[in-house]
Structure 1
Amino acid sequence: MSFDADLEAAAADEIDRACTLGWRQLRAHTPWGDTFEGFTPAGRAVCFERSYLWEHEPGSDILVEVTVYEPQAYEQGVKLTRTIQRETV
């Protein structure tokens, strides 16, 4: 597996995990972000950065951002975004 494909696979898996909670569960914790260390499918040591941000104003859709990168090479990392639609409460 190529370096880029490995980072992309790790980012895709992480954004799927990041979006398992719905808007109602995340609204009380948005904005929020965290960075942690982990491994790609090929076993590379990387950092995972996950953020939940309001896409527009507070209470709107939630923008989920995931970046996966080697600790010494943030600029060469892979960033994916997805939106969790606002639910009517």
Structure 2
Amino acid sequence: MIDPDLVEMAEDELKRAVTLSWRELRKVTPWGDSYEGFSPTGRAVMVERSYLWADAEGGDILCEIVVYGGDSRYDQGARISAVIEKKGNA
């Protein structure tokens, strides 16, 4: 079972990540970054955000978020994603 604290942080990060429009993201996709942060309960965590082409370059963009408690616990992290559609945004 994935830690609910990590899931909550991943969901919050995803809400912010998808506020960028397809038009804004197309210029930098594929792109990703990571940073150290604190979960809602105050734990030190790593957060990774990436924007990748969902199927083909120039199409929909897949936004993926991973929140985990350090390198050795990457596989136990919370993963969540959403698609930013090209349709209507080009």
TM-score category (smaller protein):
over 0.9
Q: Could you state the TM-score of these two structures normalised by the residue count of structure 1?
A: 0.93
Q: Distance in 2 between matches of 1:86 and 1:64?
A: 13
Q: Distance in 2 between matches of 1:24 and 1:43?
A: 35
Greater than 6 Å deviation, 4+ residue runs:
none
Gaps of 5+ in 1: none
Gaps of 5+ in 2: none
Contact kept in structure 2, 1:24 and 1:87, CA below 8 Å: no
RMSD over equivalenced CA pairs, Å: 1.2
Of all paired residues, the percent bearing the same amino acid is 51
Q: Could you state the TM-score of these two structures normalised by the residue count of structure 2?
A: 0.92
Contact kept in structure 2, 1:35 and 1:47, CA below 8 Å: yes
CA drift of 1:67 comes to 0.1
CA drift of 1:74 comes to 0.3
Q: Does 1:76 align with 2:76?
A: yes
